[in-house]
């Protein structure tokens, strides 16, 4: 790794070896890398809004919004731009720095672009960073979104390529990678991560992080979602039968993400509502430096503002002033030979 360019040549066995480190050693290494690139007392705050809920054509086995499963969720139309902008203003006034608009679509349709452009422009005019997650894009659509003022595009790989076929069959891994390439080519920042606790193995988790760490550029934001087991979804029901993932294994995943993608904003995403304060503290120690706030993700709950404010106060954390890593890598990390 050079001073401003993290390494992209991780091998899968090397990533697996990080997972296998003694827990305290792994967290220490991740915390050291975290300190090299970021102020560890700063946490970036993003807020989500579902701008088009339910009725999705994909069969992602974890998702409450897939039309393939009976989850009891009511499908809704794309919200009007003024409704979205009003929600974004509330999010900004509540302390969010980035506003992410999510749609339950397999892919973006050109007919929806004018409405999306109006909402993206309006949210940006509030002084917020803009993010959207709208399914697969064409190169031209990625350029249109960039022109409308979109800063980030979220498109997750969800898991490693080996377990992917157990999660979703209506789109390929390569299609996910292609959309990410169009997003990068259009000059937008990428938000890309996955889900932990879907019944995958540690090797699958390592394989996901290996994919992310060997992309042409590391994701600017790296969401680590803990599966929210939604009744009626194949993976939610499977996990309820077979048991949820151990919290300490989740912390290991966060720590390895921090080490292999040292400059990324590693975000504690779905499932934070079910995590104890102590588990969240361990995740921040292991290098997580971003969260979703505001009481709700897309369709599932999050801690409210009072709870998060109390947690920040008790952990001496504060909202990040400007997104992104600090300029200089600390020499101590080089001297210790980490990353």
Minimum CB distance to ligand SF4 smaller for 60 or for 85: 60
Cα 164 vs. chain centroid, distance in angstroms? Answer: 17
Instruction: Report if residue 104 touches ligand SF4, rule: CB under 6 A.
Output: yes
35 is catalytic: no
Residue of the chain from 6, 102, 234, 287 that contacts ligand DTB (CB under 6 A): 102
Which one of residues 12, 300, 330, 336 is an interface residue with ligand DTB (CB under 6 A)? 300
Q: Using CB under 6 A, pick the residue from 30, 51, 228, 283 that binds ligand SAM.
A: 228
Q: Is 107 helix (H, G, I), strand (E, B) or coil?
A: strand
Q: Would you say 102 or 303 has its CB closer to ligand SAM? A: 102
Q: Does 236 interact with ligand DTB (rule: CB under 6 A)?
A: no
Q: Does residue 141 belong to the site contacting ligand SAM (CB under 6 A)? A: no
**Residues 206, 332, 192, 83: what is their CA dihedral angle, to the nearest 10 degrees?**
140
Q: Which two tokens stand for residue 43?
A: 């946490």
Residues in the chain: 339
Known catalytic residue: 131?
Answer: yes
Q: Is 261 a catalytic residue?
A: no
The CA distance from 242 to 16, in Å, is 24
What would the two tokens of residue 210 be?
């290996």
- Is the Cβ–Cβ distance between 290 and 266 less than 8 Å? yes
The smaller minimum CB distance to ligand DTB, of residues 119 and 339, is found at 119
For 119, the token pair is 């909402």
Rounded Cα gap, residues 72 and 76, in angstroms: 13
Residue 155 interface partner, choices ligand DTB, ligand SAM, ligand SF4, none, CB cut-off 5-8 Å depending on type: ligand SAM
Interface stretch with ligand SF4, choices 10-18, 20-28, 38-46, 52-60 (CB under 6 A): 52-60
Q: How far apart are CA 138 and CA 161, in angstroms?
A: 22
Strand partners, 13: none
Q: Return d(Cα 182, Cα 188) in angstroms, integer.
A: 9
Does 56 participate in binding ligand SF4 (rule CB under 6 A)? Answer: yes
Q: Under the criterion CB under 6 A, does residue 221 sit at the interface with ligand DTB?
A: no
- For 220-234, give the DSSP string: SEEEEEEP---TTSH
Please confirm, yes or no, whether 283 is among the known catalytic residues.
Answer: no
Distance CA(74)–CA(60), nearest Å, equals: 17
| C-beta of 265 vs 298, nearer to ligand DTB | 298
Binding ligand DTB (rule: CB under 6 A), the pick from 29, 64, 97, 159 is 64
SS3 at position 268: strand
Toward ligand SAM, which CB reaches closer, 228 or 339?
Answer: 228
Rule CB under 6 A: which residues touch ligand DTB? 48, 64, 100, 102, 133, 154, 156, 193, 223, 225, 228, 269-270, 297-300
Residues with active-site annotation: 56, 60, 63, 100, 131, 191, 267
């Amino acid at each position: 790794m050079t001073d401003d360019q993290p390494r992209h040549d991780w091998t899968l066995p090397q990533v697996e070896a990080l997972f296998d480190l003694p827990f305290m050693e792994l967290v220490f290494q991740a915390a050291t890398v975290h300190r090299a690139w970021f102020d560890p007392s700063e946490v970036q705050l993003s807020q989500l809004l579902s701008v088009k809920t339910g009725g999705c054509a994909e069969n992602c086995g974890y998702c409450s919004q897939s039309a393939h499963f009976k989850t009891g969720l009511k499908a809704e139309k794309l919200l009007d731009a003024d409704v979205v902008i009003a929600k974004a203003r509330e999010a900004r006034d509540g302390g969010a720095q980035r506003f992410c608009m999510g749609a339950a679509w397999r892919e973006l349709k050109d007919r929806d672009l004018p409405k999306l452009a109006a909402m993206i422009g309006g949210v940006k005019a509030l002084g917020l960073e803009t993010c959207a997650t709208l399914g697969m894009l064409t190169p031209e659509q990625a350029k249109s979104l960039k022109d409308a003022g979109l800063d980030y595009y979220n498109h997750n790989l969800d898991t490693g390529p080996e377990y992917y076929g157990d999660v979703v069959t209506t789109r390929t891994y390569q299609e996910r990678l292609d959309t990410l390439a169009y997003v990068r080519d259009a000059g937008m920042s990428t938000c890309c991560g996955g889900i932990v606790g879907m019944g995958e193995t540690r090797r699958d988790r390592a394989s996901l992080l290996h994919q992310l760490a060997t992309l042409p550029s590391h994701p600017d934001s790296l969401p680590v979602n803990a599966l929210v087991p939604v009744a009626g979804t194949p993976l939610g029901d499977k996990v309820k039968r077979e048991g949820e993932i151990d919290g300490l294994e989740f912390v290991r995943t966060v720590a390895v993400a921090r080490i292999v993608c040292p400059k990324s904003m590693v975000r504690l995403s779905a499932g934070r509502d079910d995590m104890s304060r102590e588990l969240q503290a361990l995740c921040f120690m292991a290098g997580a430096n971003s969260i979703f706030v505001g009481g709700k993700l897309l369709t599932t709950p999050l801690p409210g503002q009072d709870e998060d404010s109390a947690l920040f106060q008790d952990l001496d954390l504060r909202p990040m002033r400007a997104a992104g890593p600090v300029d200089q890598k600390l020499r101590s990390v080089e001297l210790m030979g980490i990353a």
